[in-house]
Structure 1
Amino acid sequence: MNILPKLWTKNFISITIANFLTFTSFYYLLVTLPIYALQGLNGNESEVGLIVTIFLIAGIITRPFAGKWIERIGKYPVFLTAFLIVCGSSFFYFITQSITTLLIIRFFHGIGFGMATTATGAIVADLIPESRKGEGMGYYGLTLNLGMVLGPFLGLTIMHHGGTNLLFFINALLALIALIVGFFVQIPKKTVTQEVKELESNKGIKSLFEGSAIPISLISAFFALAYSGIISFVSVYAKEIGLVEAASYFFVVYAIVLFISRPFTGKWFDLYGANKIIYPAILLFAVGTYLLSVSTSLPLFLLSAALIGLGNGTIFPSLQTIAIQIAPADKRALATATFLSIFDFGFGIGSFLFGLATVKVGYSSLYFYSTFLVLAGIGVYYILHGKFHCTVKQRKVQ
């Protein structure tokens, strides 16, 4: 009888906890800082969008360099440095007295976030046994989804009932725990093959991106434009329509639907291919965005969250799966980095543009117009990927 190698080691548990805390903090601040900037710092909507954009741009710029630093000095030094930057940045939120100060802190926090997500992804790939790679990466990826639930719910609850100081204290505590947990991670030494050495010796801009993943990554960035406006401003919008308490539950409903649907949508992706999953998901995303734009009651508001969760929550992992499938076997890690960087770029730009646009038309109108942006994604997907069909065997990658 074959005995499977152990997955839940001390190192694997530590790295997944660190990743969970990183994304919990990310979403925690993502939905609360817009409110803080508008009410506490007297900022405007365009400045709120820039708070999200500058964080993600810093992370995007840092990721390729983090990969090079990992090659030169190793994964653990980059990993530990990243969490030191994240932890240090988190304590500086206490001294913010202007939008400018907040933007500077967000930039350095974004650098740490970009380094941390790059390093943890590289480390966890070494920790998971080859025979359990899919299972292990599935559990690791689940920490992002858990952070997406807990972060907004915790952040909005604390902000409404505890105030700004407690908000920043909890965020600093999350970062400190992640740093402490990081000290317990031990990385196994691996033999570097000649093939890997040749890949690592590549220079130039082409060595930072996987070309085959760029078209599908551009599709993800397109949908990120619409999604960024939802996740960055839905808490402010909820207050505007008199549903302040419901804002935190928006993300809970979103995540519950995502968790329930993920096993089914993954199997359908395997059985029927990407096109038959993604086109309906786009329509659900569009309907959810439209319902959000006309929400005047709690049931309608939460229904929009469910449909957006089912739609966008299916689109993102499906596109990421395609990016990995179409890449050469030895460049799947690079394809993943390419996909996430381009997605983050679309998200960051979307947050900034959405913030500018809300000054002119308001949240409700902009969510209404975003419905047509999402629908236009059908054409974008068809042109860049859908019309070519998937010829490779489909498999679920979470």
Structure 2
Amino acid sequence: MKASKEPLWTKDFTVVSVINFFVMLVFYLLIVIISAYAVDELQASTSQAGLATGIFIIGALIGRLATGSIIDSFGKRKILFLGLSLFILTSLLYYIEAGITFLFITRLLHGIALGIASTATGTLIAAIIPASRKGEGIGYYSMSTTLATAIGPFLGLYLTQIASYTAIFSFCLALSIISFTGALAVRTKEPEPSRTADAKREAFSLSRLIEPKALPIAVVVLVTGFAYSSVLSYINFFAKEIGLVEAASFFFIVYAVSVLASRPFTGRLMDSKGENHIMYPAFVAYGLGLLLLSAAGTSMVLLLAGVLIGLGFGNMQSTTQAIAIKSTVPQRMGLATSTFFIFLDAGLGFGPYALGLIIPSTGYRTLYASLGVLMLLMIAGYYFLHGNKSKARTAH
């Protein structure tokens, strides 16, 4: 039991979590305002505005793919500084109004910077957390992303009402500079870098970009992220359709409170009982939340759906990240973290485009109901991909 008393809230753990919060806050804040900026300031078409939003995710994917393969040999701290430096430089590009094509380039480069920085923070945190508290630690750390997903959109929509786009970009730049300054205080032991010969031998191997052992859980992450993209992208359109716009503005706040309230309990439960004790109930909560959302007609029902989706998807995010990291050797934790986020970003990034094609024929209610059923069916998918193997691991 002594192992459970290993300190978790160290200076490094706190600083890296705050850096991740600021970086992700900038991401989620800009994702809700950039399409309006493209239309208002650059006279972009609706489809161009959508591309300005989504191309950032493509950049993040590129950044994660590139980083996952080099982070363990170059060093986590160096990669973090590289990512945050690029994050500051690309934030400056928003001040240049040079047409929609330049905005596409800015968004792509900014996304690459985010992919590098967030892979570095995720890998650093995995190295900082004591092994005996991995589930609990990653649960607390991923709350920084959960808070950003709630506060970012809320703040972005609020700031557009009281400030200019230039002022909003300045706010994002300030957060980026604070993050870089905070990184100077991070001190972690780096493992021995990979041997050059090994690196050369694997140069053209897929395992240099993806951690194969993390792939089964990454597939689960892809599907759950795909479903959640429907909430991120279309909740406001759905709310307008059913006359619940005011309630919808609090949806992500309720979602975040739900995750924050349950995360300390679920993290410890994972460490003591194993991930299946979190994942199976989370699939049920997530599925029921989406079904409830599809049937929403009052503010109470809409917000209750937010609570259930938070208990479901919110806790899945941290649990699946911990599973991905635990699935491999310490030397490939960076690659496992990168693999996890690549699949999460792919689900969140490409989901809106795919779902947007079917919404005209299904409508929002049918869409959410179908995704709710899909999440309940994914209980079987998770069982075959990982759940049936985890019993043996936790019994070890």
Q: TM-score range by the shorter chain?
A: 0.7 to 0.9
Distance in 2, matches of 1:180 and 1:219, equals: 36
Question: Given the superposition, is the C-alpha separation of residues 137 and 344 from structure 1 closer, same or farther in structure 2, using an over 3 Å criterion?
Answer: same
Listed as ranges, the matches of 1:191-340 within 5 Å are: 192=192, 202-203=202-203, 204-270=205-271, 273-328=274-329, 330-340=331-341
Q: Mark the CA change 1:235 to 1:300 in structure 2 (over 3 Å): closer, same or farther.
A: same
- TM alignment of 1:1-398, pairs within 5 A: 8-9=10-11, 13-34=14-35, 36=37, 41=43, 43-44=45-46, 50-70=51-71, 74-95=75-96, 100-124=101-125, 137=138, 139-162=140-163, 164-182=165-183, 184-185=184-185, 187=187, 190=190, 192=192, 202-203=202-203, 204-270=205-271, 273-328=274-329, 330-388=331-389, 390-393=391-394
Q: 1:191 to 1:159 in 2, by over 3 A?
A: closer
Cα deviation for residue 208 of structure 1 reads 2.5
Partner AA of 1:308 in structure 2: I
**Residues 26-66 of structure 1: CA deviation (Å, up to 9, x unaligned):** 2222333355556765643x656544442222222222322
Residue 259 of structure 1: SS of its match in structure 2? helix
8 Å contact from structure 1 (residues 83, 179) kept in 2: yes
Amino acid in structure 1 at the alignment position of 2:10: W
Assess, with a 3 A threshold, how the Cα gap between structure 1 residues 313 and 141 changes in structure 2: closer, same or farther: closer
Tell me, yes or no, if the aligned pair for 1:52 and 1:352 is still in contact at 8 Å.
no
Structure 1 stretch 95-104 or stretch 202-211: which is displaced more? Answer: 95-104
- 1:394 is displaced (CA, Å) by 7.3
Closer, same or farther: CA 245–90 of 1 in aligned 2, 3 Å:
farther
Q: Deviations over 1:256-307 (max 9, x none)?
A: 1111122333344456544454233222212211222333332222111111
Q: Distance in 1 between matches of 2:55 and 2:75?
A: 27
2:7 and 2:315 map into 1 onto residues whose CA distance is 31
- Aligned-pair identity in percent equals 36
Distance in 2 between residues matched to 1:354 and 1:149, nearest whole Å: 22
8 Å contact kept, 1:127–1:187: no
Summarize the Cα distance change of 1:245–1:186 in structure 2 as closer, same or farther, 3 Å threshold.
same
Please give the per-residue CA displacement for 1:83-103, whole angstroms capped at 9, x wherever unaligned.
232223333334557654433
Look up the SS of the partner of 2:249 in the other structure: helix
1:281 aligns to what SS in structure 2? helix
> Displacement of 1:391 after TM fit?
1.0
Normalization by structure 2: what TM-score?
Answer: 0.82
1:339-391 CA-to-partner distances (Å, cap 9, x unmatched) read 22222222222122123334554444432332233233233223323444521
* Secondary structure of 1:391 counterpart: helix
**8 A contact 1:126–1:187 mirrored in 2:** no
Q: Distance in 2 between matches of 1:270 and 1:15?
A: 22
CA spacing shift, 1:48–1:292, aligned 2, 3 Å: farther
Please give the secondary structure, in 2, of the residue aligned with 1:390: helix
The size of the alignment, in residue pairs, is: 391
Cα RMSD (Å): 3.6
Map Cα deviations across residues 221-273 of structure 1 (whole Å, 9 max, x no partner): 01111111211332343344443333332111001111112233334445654
Rate the CA distance shift 1:85–1:358 in 2: closer, same or farther, 3 A: farther
C-alpha distance in structure 1 between counterparts of 2:239 and 2:166, whole Å: 23
Q: Is the 8 A contact 1:50 1:351 kept in 2?
A: no
Stretches of structure 2 lacking an aligned partner (at least 5 in a row): none
